[in-house]
Structure 1
Amino acid sequence: MPRRPALSHDRIIDAAVQVADRGGLAQVSMRNVGKELGVEAMSLYHHLAGKDALLDALANWIFTRIELPEPRQPWRQAMADRAASARATLSEHPWALGLIESRRSPGPALLRHHDTVLGCLRGNGFPMTLAAHAFSAIDAYVYGFVLTELNLPFDVDSAAEEIVGEIGEQLSPDLYPHLAELVAEQVMHRDYAYGDEFEYGLALILDSLESRLASDDPSD
């Protein structure tokens, strides 16, 4: 019988990710993670203090999956690339949305991520106040967009015309003229996919930041 690999912190976190991916964060417990590894829950306590430590480690793990900018990389492309990476990671692991900013004991990957993003902005001439605003606005946009994508009643990677067409039948131009116009002009017969909105919306935020940075008082 093949020998089971030795238990380690990294193996425990990988198993916790598998549990969360299948059943959501509510299913993550020392018992369920132990079961995933084929060991008793008590064995995990040699590597983690308990469930809180496990959740802290999961939040930290997510930040190891998000692309970091180079400190001297031009800020606009760096922020666009990081936003796209964060969107992909959070879409793949939707349980992380409510976890990553809620932990009171941030891990080294989380701290390095935040410090590197701020460092890239600061290195490109952002005053700290504007860098903080930029970080907050971009992340709020990414998290909100992912949350919307995850809850749409259709596959975001395919055309939404069929579902939106059903809704459109209820949109009387007399009662809802602007919604009817939106469906007719922007969705129907245009291979519309909601995910295509991501880059456009992100560009609006980056345009505003670029304008603020170029102003006389970018911290305003």
Structure 2
Amino acid sequence: MAQQTEAAPRAPLSRDRVLHAAVALADGIGIEALSMRKLAQELGVVPMALYKHVANKEQLLDGMVEVVVGGIDPPAPGSDWQSAVRQRILSARQALLGHPWAAQVIRSRTGPTPAVLAYTDSVIGMFRTGGFSVDLTHHVMHALGSRMLGFTQELFDASPSPAAQTRAPAPAPAPAQDAGAYPYVMELAMAATHDGDSVVGQGCDDQFEFEFALDLLLDGFERLRQQGWTSGDRRRRS
């Protein structure tokens, strides 16, 4: 009689396994479709088993953010501040592009998770050790905003897709009858370099536009640092 093959033992449930399974499931079905019940089915457990590791769905989402942000590359050692910040932000963008729902979830949190706080602290540290004053660093962080994590909220972004949070906007082609009324919009729409692989379809090259704006900011920050800029001077001039 042939021996029956025993089933491989199931890996024990843990918080780490729950969170990574949730990230993978959200990647596959979308964040809106994710539920504790579906996650339990994916893991082959009853829903109540999940609550030993996450108290509720909000805590699950917080943990999923931790997983994604934890995948951002660490700062490159020995780099000047500008190269280090640029590499860190572009790595964050790459991490979020790999999980199109992540930007939406990060924006929905009432406060930063520990991983986001640690990431933010590291970026602030790059400016401070790069010679930036506390005052200038404060305003730099405001200027970067969500771009620090690799995504932006753009004007007139009507796309329902979470991936829209990681792109730059493309000028919308004006209808033919409006070309005379909006000549500069039409001129720009017709002249812009389009990228067929853009997340907005026939839109602009998302990565190029993101890096273009990021480099403008970083170059501007460096000029202010060299000038010894302070907010007090700016307020007095105003």
Into which bin does the TM-score normalised by the smaller protein fall? 0.7 to 0.9
The secondary structure found in structure 1 opposite 2:101 is helix
In 2, Cα distance between the equivalents of 1:169 and 1:50? Answer: 48
Cross-structure match for 2:211:
199
The answer as to 2:54 corresponding to 1:48 is yes
Cross-structure match for 2:223:
211
Residue 107 of structure 1: how far off its partner (Å): 4.2
Letter in 2 for 1:206: L
The secondary structure found in structure 2 opposite 1:49 is coil
Residue 122 of structure 1: how far off its partner (Å): 0.7
Deviations 1:52-90 (A, max 9, x none): 221221121121012232576311111211221122222
Q: Between the two structures, name the one with larger relative contact order (CA 8 Å, sep ≥ 6).
A: 1
Match of 1:144 among 132, 137, 152: 152
Residue 37 of structure 1: how far off its partner (Å): 0.5
Residue 139 of structure 1: how far off its partner (Å): 3.9
Structure richer in helix, relative to its length: 1
In 1, Cα distance between the equivalents of 2:129 and 2:78? Answer: 6
Match of 2:136 among 126, 130, 133: 130
- Alpha carbons 2:194, 2:205 under 8 Å: kept: no
Match of 1:36 among 34, 42, 55: 42
Residue 20 of structure 1: how far off its partner (Å): 1.4
In 2, Cα distance between the equivalents of 1:172 and 1:50? Answer: 51
Cross-structure match for 2:100:
94
The answer as to 2:85 corresponding to 1:79 is yes
Aligned pairs, number: 209
Gaps of 5+ in 2: 1-6, 196-201
In 1, Cα distance between the equivalents of 2:120 and 2:216? Answer: 22
Task: Output the TM-score relative to the length of structure 2.
Answer: 0.73
Match of 2:16 among 10, 15, 26: 10
The secondary structure found in structure 2 opposite 1:27 is coil
Cross-structure match for 2:199:
none
Task: Output the TM-score relative to the length of structure 1.
Answer: 0.78
Structure 1 180/108 Cα, relative in aligned 2: closer, same or farther at 3 Å?
closer
Structure 1 180/50 Cα, relative in aligned 2: closer, same or farther at 3 Å?
closer
In 1, Cα distance between the equivalents of 2:93 and 2:48? Answer: 35
Gaps of 5+ in 1: none
Mean Cα deviation higher: 96-105 or 27-36: 96-105
In 2, Cα distance between the equivalents of 1:43 and 1:18? Answer: 19
Structure 1 26/185 Cα, relative in aligned 2: closer, same or farther at 3 Å?
closer
Structure 1 171/213 Cα, relative in aligned 2: closer, same or farther at 3 Å?
farther
- Alpha carbons 2:69, 2:95 under 8 Å: kept: no
Residue 205 of structure 1: how far off its partner (Å): 1.1
The secondary structure found in structure 2 opposite 1:7 is coil
Structure 1 13/194 Cα, relative in aligned 2: closer, same or farther at 3 Å?
same
Residue 140 of structure 1: how far off its partner (Å): 2.8
